[in-house]
Amino acid sequence: MTLDRRSLLGWFGAGAAGSMAGPVAAGTNPSGVSFAHGVASGDPMPRSVVFWTRVTPADPAAGDIEVVLEVATDADFSRIVHRSSGLRARAGRDFTVKHDLDGQGLEPGTDYHYRFIANGVTSPVGRTRTLALGALAEARLAVVSCQLYPGGLYNAYDAIARLEQVDAVVHLGDYIYEYGAGPDDYGMETGAALNRLPDPPHEIVSLDDYRRRHAQYKSDPDLQAAHARAPFICVWDDHELANDTWNTGAQNHQPDTEGEFVTRKAAALRAYFEWMPIREPLPGTMGEAIQRTFHFGDLASLMMVETRLQGRMRQLSYGADMGFSAGPDGRPVPDVAAFETLRQAEDRDLLGPAQREWLGRELATSKAAGRPWQVLGNQVVMARVAGPDIAAMATPEAVAGMLAGLSPEIRAQVEQAAVLFSHGLPFNLDSWDGYPAGRERLYQTFKAARVRPIVLAGDSHAFWVNELKDAAGEARAVEFGTSGISSPSPGDALGEFPLGAALAGTNPEVVFCDQTAKGFVLLTLTPAAARAELMAVSTILSRPYDLRTLKSYTLDAGAAGLTEG
């Protein structure tokens, strides 16, 4: 279908009927406040949902603003089931409001409409849904990741907002990016052409920086429409802080010019918890520990893990960790054996023992409860993915022709990668391939719980369908990776070179891969089967756009393998 530029925000409306406070229509501003960043809900439970908004004051120095939340079973608010008064948009929280309506008038498996009121001004109306208890015939999840603001239009969010059915949006991270607006900054060639320039225009480091960047992203009408359509279930990846984050640092953090990493991390996490519809850490717990479980009736359990700030060791990189020696012809030869000793080290991990033990308990509990599906909301690709050996794929003449069509900079990178990939080395060391011992421990956790979960993955800006196996060759899980909403894909700069097909042809675990399309995964679960549809938008550079199903795969309950279609 072809979809135009019109946002769904107008569809949801902001009708004042039934309000005890008698608010004026949305969009008017008689009292110096507005709701410029929309509304959102998240972390749904059977009788609880987190409701979020941000009140934009005309004068930030005026102090806190009193806010009312109304929740109804109808869009006209003639049947209000709960009204929370006395909420406050506080300057100390950047005027954001987050209210966890736990056990206060909400029923399981029910659709609700909600709105906020401040100084007589009414917010846009959002829709949310609580999780079911007991028998459930179907659950539908939209799986998203990687939404670089300068990278392109959020057409995929417009498409999600228009879905007839979606129970929750599962966001696997990279909700914001930290880069600046310089001509060489990430995505800025597209950002400049579309006038989608990062705010602030420099790389974000301080609390004010991170708040402004979150505010800019939530100013996008398509993202607002998706938030207003369904509850989000979110985790962060690396760019909510800085590129290639690990537990004590990041590739894109330089302490000599950007201060202590722990200070930057605290600022990034504080802004994230202020601006996202996610539950706050409990007192006395680690702010980094956002792993949590959601049960969709008797049908499925969704376990969201955290793979950046708790257990992840520093990533290896070919530039910093691969040694080279001169070969007989004078060309550098990589010391693959020494590098593999580093990569295969037993202590390399992403989750850490505490989170892995928690996950094992959650998986076993879900299995014991009789739920047919255990779904893992995981940030990075889990499959074994070796880089493509270009020399083995085609004749030397064909390879030379392909390289000749690339820009000099990209050609040099491809030629360097080709040398490494000819040795069977991983395509991406920031994924689980950089932590094979930790991945094997995770697979043993699956085995101990007697489950073969569905693994979801983001981060890669590519679509993946993978059948995961452990070191002994035993099937352990099926993986569906979502492409980015707007972030550049690895295949974008390679012209006609079929990178996705090359990766699928090189790697037995990869059933399908597309390294250029943008969009989301639509995962539909029933007692009998799980169906994943790879939903691709035709463009992120303009409107209108087309939405199509790139591929779809089905997994029957109890089966180890996938069928296409």
Q: Digits of tens for pLDDT over the chain (565 positions)?
A: 555 433 333 333 333 222 333 333 444 444 689 999 999 999 999 999 999 999 999 998 889 999 999 999 999 999 999 999 999 999 999 999 999 987 777 999 999 999 999 999 999 999 999 999 999 999 999 999 999 999 999 999 999 999 999 999 999 999 999 999 999 999 999 999 999 999 999 999 999 999 999 999 999 999 999 999 999 999 999 999 999 999 999 999 999 999 999 999 999 999 999 999 999 988 888 999 999 999 999 999 999 999 999 999 999 999 999 999 988 887 889 999 999 999 999 999 999 999 999 999 999 999 999 999 999 999 999 999 999 987 776 667 767 777 777 777 777 777 788 889 989 999 999 999 999 999 999 999 999 999 999 999 999 999 999 999 999 999 999 999 999 999 999 999 887 788 999 999 999 999 999 999 999 999 999 999 999 999 999 999 999 999 999 999 999 998 878 999 8
Q: How far apart are CA 351 and CA 242, in angstroms?
A: 19
pLDDT at 3: 52
Q: How far apart are CA 128 and CA 457, in angstroms?
A: 24
Q: How far apart are CA 267 and CA 247, in angstroms?
A: 15
pLDDT at 15: 31
164-199: burial string, b at 16+ Cβ within 10 Å, e else? eebbbbbbbbbbbbbbbbeeebbbbebbeebebebb
Q: How far apart are CA 504 and CA 328, in angstroms?
A: 33
Q: Would you call 203 exposed, middle or buried from its count of C-beta atoms within 10 A (0-12, 13-18, 19+)?
A: buried
Domain range list for the chain: 1-130
In terms of DSSP bridges, do strands 475-481 and 454-457 run parallel, antiparallel, or are they unpaired? parallel
Would you state the structure tokens that stand for residue 429, as one six-digit string?
């060391």
pLDDT at 556: 96
Q: Would you call 300 exposed, middle or buried from its count of C-beta atoms within 10 A (0-12, 13-18, 19+)?
A: buried
- The residue among 40, 36, 92, 26 whose CA lies nearest residue 65 is 92
Question: Are residues 530 and 555 in contact, defined by beta-carbon separation less than 8 angstroms?
Answer: yes
Q: How far apart are CA 208 and CA 195, in angstroms?
A: 22
pLDDT at 416: 80
Q: Which one of 2.60.40.380, 3.50.50.60, 1.10.3720.10, 3.40.190.10 gives the CATH number of domain 1-130? A: 2.60.40.380
3-state SS, residue 102: strand
Would you state the structure tokens that stand for residue 226, as one six-digit string?
């998706």
- The residue among 35, 165, 49, 169 whose CA lies nearest residue 113 is 49
- The residue among 267, 289, 217, 236 whose CA lies nearest residue 40 is 217
pLDDT at 62: 80
Crossing angle, helix 261-275 and helix 207-217, to 10 degrees? 40
Stated as kind and residue range, the H or E segment containing 494 is none
Q: How far apart are CA 438 and CA 429, in angstroms?
A: 13
pLDDT at 394: 64
Q: How far apart are CA 553 and CA 376, in angstroms?
A: 18
Across 242-342, where does the E strand assignment appear? 245-246, 249-250, 292-296, 300-304, 324-326, 332-334
pLDDT at 282: 82
Q: How far apart are CA 486 and CA 66, in angstroms?
A: 36
Which backbone phi and psi does 348 adopt, to 5 degrees?
Answer: -70, 130
pLDDT at 31: 63
Q: How far apart are CA 81 and CA 84, in angstroms?
A: 10
Residue length of the chain: 565
